[in-house]
A and B are shown apart, each in its own frame.
Chain A
């Protein structure tokens, strides 16, 4: 099945990909492709927008309309694409540093506007492409090449940040449970509005090694042992949930979608010029 998906949806001439051994990005890219396949979307109608970083290299490998943009700006490019051509299915793939540090402003405003797009955030808790600097999601006290004495920043919860800014759909998946991640992405694509799926990846080479987390398998096992489904987490206290990954659909509301609202203005002007 996987190989069929590769043939159908990937630019095989550009494989193998550049990701390190043990990297979780490929698992998440697979979930994105599987969600698209399950929904039987027309390849010509799918637009994948990415920023800069390890995760953002995914766009180039995928056989859709793909645009690898500038660092942090994927959502702003995607907003232009969606508004100019609302019939396109816009999917953004971005990393934790890309979307919540340099692109933090674009994230909150895209969420607030509720522009119809699906944002897949690959969160590996580190800047991998530049060699292991701490990111806005590196836990407090952990190490990066720019946090040699331990990180004193408080980390972001990206899904909660997006929900707080007005995202109408948020979810979290892991690479331990790709079926759940695929489900969350699929639901996000079907949702009419801004949806964000935080996909927790692993970076054994930089984050794992620097923080003695073991190899990729150890890190995935950690995900298995620390994931709590949203329904169960609702009954738990904040203390019990400390350091855990709450997974599944986290929030789902219906607000008017931006491009549809704009279309109403155009229609109104056409009727009453």
Chain B
């Protein structure tokens, strides 16, 4: 029996994470993500987990990786400038293949911006924020209920692929309160481990049938080295161009080759649609209201929502673009996922954009207007 609870998006993020085994959180207060840290501070010791408020965002990201190498599912949360500070060590987690989840409750930017106002301006930063080519997975929830279930998926993907996963929320969903059904049964994927014991082995070699390394956590007898430098399978730094190419290619392919497993979308009223609205996160609610209004007026419009923003579900969007006449991208920024849509859609259908950067919400009325435009 699932139970019905009234919850805020930020709270649902914590409860979902704890439900799937998150037992370590390090963070630093920043609006509009602070409730996540507050709830972790309150809840984690109850389940024998640990919370720590670090001296800054850089340190919180570092502590999360540190906790994860001991085998504990770990998470941090931040917003705005804090997300910029996390980037250095997000790259480390990518390169060293340490699972962790980074929640970014987006707020208006750049810089300190409008701290309490909604925005979706971190879409590109979530993909390319840290320096260098690197793999990343980014998921974006559009409701409180989905926040609960999708954070569990974020941990599952992080553990499965041994990669940082960015959970890209926004102020709209983070501060929204709704009744949600907390499920009894959830699917949990834990990190695969082979304890090779001793030290003269190759922790970063990939066993047959696996998509990521399988070394045991620190302190269990499997002694190895972790580094953010380019390393070979032994985990030791190398300057070899051959090894560098091998490592980076494998890291990128780890995600690319599994896009079918990672990338998910939600489609609504798409079957008969000749217009589709592409949206994600907190923007979705207004879009759905506009679509309902439009359909009452006999307009065949549907919704296409990437739940996984990165890797971008391009196959699904390409398929859709060949069936419709017009795609409208609606997002609370100056046009970020729009660039992906342009790249994928090309000339298959018309492309319209509705964005906003003033810290206010795009209303269903405005969306309806663009739907009706020729």
A residues in contact (CB < 8 Å) with B: 11, 13-14, 43-45, 47, 49, 59-60, 63-70, 73, 76-85, 87-88, 105-106, 108-109, 262, 265-266, 269-270, 273
Whether A105 contacts B56 in the complex (CB less than 8 A), given A70-B62, A84-B67, A266-B45, comes out as yes
Contacting residues, chain A, for B88 (C-beta < 8 A): 70, 73
Chain B CB within 10 A, most for which of A11, A67, A77, A84: A84
Closest CB in chain A relative to B84 CB, distance in Å:
15
Complex contacts, B224 vs chain A, CB 8 Å: 65-66
Residues on B with beta carbons closer than 8 Å to the beta carbon of A43: 223
Give Cα A73 to B55, complex, Å. Answer: 12
Whether B5 is near chain A, meaning CB under 8 Å from some CB there, is no
Which residues in A have their C-beta under 8 angstroms from that of B60? 76
Q: Of A59, A80, A87, A262, which is within 8 A of B66 by CB?
A: A80
Query: Complex formed: what's the CA distance from A76 to B68 in Å?
Result: 13
Chain A residue at minimum C-beta to C-beta distance from B221: A44
The residues in B between 219 and 269 inclusive whose CB is less than 8 angstroms from any CB of A are 219-221, 223-229, 234, 236-237
Q: How far is the CA of A78 from the CA of B71 in the complex (A)?
A: 14
Partner of A80, one of B45, B67, B92, B225: B67
The reply to whether B219 and A87 form a contact with Cβ atoms under 8 Å apart is yes
Cβ of B361 < 8 Å from any Cβ of A? no
With A47-B218, A68-B226 in contact, is A84–B24 under 8 Å at CB? yes
B70 in contact with A68 (CB, 8 Å): no
Encode contact with A along B194-212: 1 for CB under 8 Å, 0 otherwise. Answer: 0000011000000000000
Q: How far in angstroms is the closest Cβ of chain A from B89?
A: 6
Most B CB contacts (10 A, CB to CB) among A14, A83, A87, A266 go to A83
Give the 10 A-B residue pairs with the shortest CB-CB distance, closest first. Answer: A80-B66, A80-B63, A76-B62, A84-B67, A76-B59, A85-B70, A77-B66, A109-B55, A65-B218, A81-B66
Q: Is the CB of A81 within 8 A of B236?
A: no
Taking A67-B226, A106-B55 as known contacts, 16 extra A-B pairs with beta carbons closer than 8 A to each other, sorted by chain A number, are A11-B225, A44-B219, A45-B219, A47-B219, A60-B225, A65-B218, A67-B69, A68-B225, A68-B228, A69-B65, A79-B52, A79-B63, A81-B69, A81-B218, A109-B54, A265-B45
Complex formed: what's the CA distance from A79 to B51 in Å? Answer: 11
Say yes or no for B20: interface residue by CB 8 A criterion: no
Bound form: Cα–Cα A67–B96 in Å: 10
Q: Which residues of B contact A64 (CB under 8 A)?
A: 223
B64 contacts partner chain A, Cβ-Cβ < 8 Å? yes
Q: Does chain A have a CB within 8 A of B72?
A: yes
Q: How far is the CA of A270 from the CA of B45 in the complex (A)?
A: 9
CA distance A109 to B224 in the complex (A): 28
Q: Does B296 contact A (CB under 8 A)?
A: no
Asked whether, in the complex, the Cβ of B72 is within 8 Å of the Cβ of A84, the reply is yes
Pairwise interchain contact A79-B59, C-beta atoms closer than 8 A: yes
Interface residues of B toward A: which range? 35 or more
| Contacts between chains A and B (CB distance < 8 A), count | 138
Contact string, B56-91, partner A, CB cutoff 8 A, digits 1/0? 101110111111111110100000000000001100
**Cross-chain pairs A/B with CB under 8 angstroms, 5 sampled:** A80-B26, A80-B62, A88-B219, A108-B55, A273-B46
How many Å from the CB of A250 to the closest CB on chain B?
24
Q: B74 near A84 (CB under 8 angstroms)? A: yes
Complex interface: chain A residues within 8 A of B237 (CB):
60, 68
Q: Complex Cα distance A79/B25, Å? A: 12
Report the minimum CB–CB distance from A223 to chain B (whole Å).
Answer: 30
Residues of B within 8 A of A65 (CB): 69, 218-219, 223-224
Neighbouring B residues of A262 by C-beta, 8 Å:
45, 50
Give the contacting residue for B70; candidates A73, A88, A105, A270; CB below 8 A. A88
Q: Within 8 Å of chain A (Cβ to Cβ): is B48? A: yes
In the assembled complex, the CB of A91 is this many whole angstroms from the nearest CB of chain B, namely 13
Q: Which residues of B contact A273 (CB under 8 A)?
A: 46
A113 to B12, CA, bound (A): 30
CA of A35 to CA of B191 in the docked complex: distance in angstroms? 34
In B1-43, the 8 Å CB interface with A consists of: 23-24, 26
Chain A residues whose CB sits within 8 angstroms of the CB of B24 once the complex forms: 80, 83-84
Whether A80 lies near B65 (C-beta < 8 A) is yes
B199 x A80 contact (CB < 8 A):
no
Q: Which residues of A contact B229 (CB under 8 A)?
A: 68
A108–B55 Cα distance when bound, in Å, is 9
Cβ distance A82 to chain B, nearest Cβ, rounded Å: 8
Residues of B within 8 Å of A77, CB to CB, are: 62-63, 65-66
User: A44 near B220 (CB under 8 angstroms)?
Assistant: yes
Distance in angstroms from B355 CB to nearest chain A CB is 35
Cβ-defined contact, B218 with A88, below 8 A: yes
Shortest distance between the CB of B218 and any CB in chain A (Å): 4
With contact pairs A65-B223, A69-B228 given, residues A83 and B45 touching in the complex (Cβ less than 8 Å): no
Closest Cβ of chain B: how far from A272's Cβ, in Å?
Answer: 11
Which residues of the partner chain B approach A67 to less than 8 Å between Cβ atoms? 66, 69, 218, 225-227
Q: Is the CB of B63 within 8 A of A60?
A: no
* Cβ of A74 to closest chain B Cβ, rounded Å: 8
Residues of A within 8 A of B59 (CB): 73, 76, 79, 105-106, 109
Does B225 lie within 8 Å of A84, measured CB to CB? no
Residue contact B67 to A81, C-beta cutoff 8 Å: yes
- Please, which residue of chain A has its CB at the minimum distance from the CB of B44? A266
CA distance A49 to B48 in the complex (A): 25
